[in-house]
């Protein structure tokens, strides 16, 4: 028991957070670029979700003081003082968006990693806290990922290492952060499994049927055939409960890689079927970072990519 605990807390390299940094930055860049055609409709003071209405909506979810929505900054915090100096809110939110994109690009290449992650973190929170039309879970999990990028050490794939000739070593801090992320994911999937298991709709297939009848699916697939095969809906419901319910146990056993595959497959299906590609992408990146980074980097090394400094590690 003591040897297992020692192994679990042994110093490790920050390679998992290289994967997290690159994945989070790519997904959030794709998200903001995809929102550009209707950016002001989403985020402007008088857009489709006016700031006043968004503030009421977001505050209504603050049913306990530690709820994330209670702590989200708003773009109005900067736009309102700026308007007193004659600067329109459109200019302010454009500057915030430009800072967001620039910080994500810097985070992607790993330049001034913690500073760029911190800027991206607050810009992301301001934009998420000012509208609810683009928030469907992806905002909160992206906030989690950006937070870890703010405090994680730079890895071998960061530009900081190249420019400042930093030696990447195994540290206790990288291990502690990785274990915290794993525990956080354990809690996320445990709560999700308990919430689903408490509703009969996940046991009798009704939840799958209702999801299949959403316009986002029916516009691309004819899901009405499920009505003639109710067993399929039940099996899908049971499968979801099993994958999420046994997540923690499987990740701590020899089934870890198999369960990572199942979780990734589940999120791919969710992303494709419900048109939630960014949410699915964030969850896949978090899971790969937490439980499969070593295997991913092993595959990259076998493919001929130089993704770590083994000589520095030996020292």
pLDDT band at 144, cuts 50/70/90?
very high
pLDDT in tens, 73-93: 788 889 889 988 889 988 999
pLDDT at 58 over 80: no
pLDDT at 187 over 80: yes
pLDDT at 312: 41
108: left (phi over 0), alpha (psi -120 to 50) or beta: alpha
pLDDT band at 313, cuts 50/70/90?
very low
pLDDT at 143: 92
pLDDT in tens, 193-238: 999 999 999 998 888 888 888 776 766 777 777 778 889 889 999 9
Mean pLDDT of the 129-135 span: 74
Report domain extents, the chain: 13-168, 183-315
pLDDT at 309 over 60: no
């Amino acid at each position: 028991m003591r040897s297992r605990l020692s192994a679990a807390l042994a110093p490790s390299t920050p390679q998992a957070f290289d994967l997290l940094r690159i994945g989070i930055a790519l997904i959030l860049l794709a998200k903001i670029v995809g929102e550009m055609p209707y950016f002001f409709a989403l985020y402007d003071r008088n857009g489709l979700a006016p700031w006043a209405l968004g503030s009421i909506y977001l505050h209504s979810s603050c049913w306990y003081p530690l709820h994330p929505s209670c702590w989200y900054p708003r773009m109005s915090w900067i736009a309102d003082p700026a308007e007193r100096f004659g600067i329109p809110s459109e200019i302010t939110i454009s500057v915030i968006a430009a800072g967001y994109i620039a910080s994500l690009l810097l985070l992607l290449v790993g330049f001034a990693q913690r500073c760029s992650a911190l800027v991206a973190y607050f810009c992301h929170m301001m934009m998420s806290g000012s509208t609810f039309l683009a928030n469907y879970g992806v905002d909160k999990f992206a906030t989690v990922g950006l937070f870890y990028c703010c405090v994680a050490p730079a890895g071998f794939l960061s530009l900081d290492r190249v420019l400042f000739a930093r030696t990447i070593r195994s540290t206790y801090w990288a291990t502690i952060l990785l274990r915290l992320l794993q525990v956080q994911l354990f809690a996320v999937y445990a709560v999700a499994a308990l919430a689903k298991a408490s509703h009969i709709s996940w046991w009798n297939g009704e939840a799958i049927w209702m999801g299949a009848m959403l316009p986002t699916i029916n516009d691309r697939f004819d899901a009405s055939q499920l009505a003639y095969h109710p067993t399929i809906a039940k099996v899908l419901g049971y499968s979801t409960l099993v994958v999420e319910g046994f997540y923690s146990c499987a990740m701590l056993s020899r089934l870890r890689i198999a369960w990572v595959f199942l979780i990734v497959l589940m999120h791919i299906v969710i992303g494709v079927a419900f048109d939630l590609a960014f949410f699915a992408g964030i969850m896949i990146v978090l899971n790969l970072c937490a439980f499969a980074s070593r295997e991913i980097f092993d595959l990259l090394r076998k493919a001929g990519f130089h993704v770590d400094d083994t000589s520095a590690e030996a020292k």
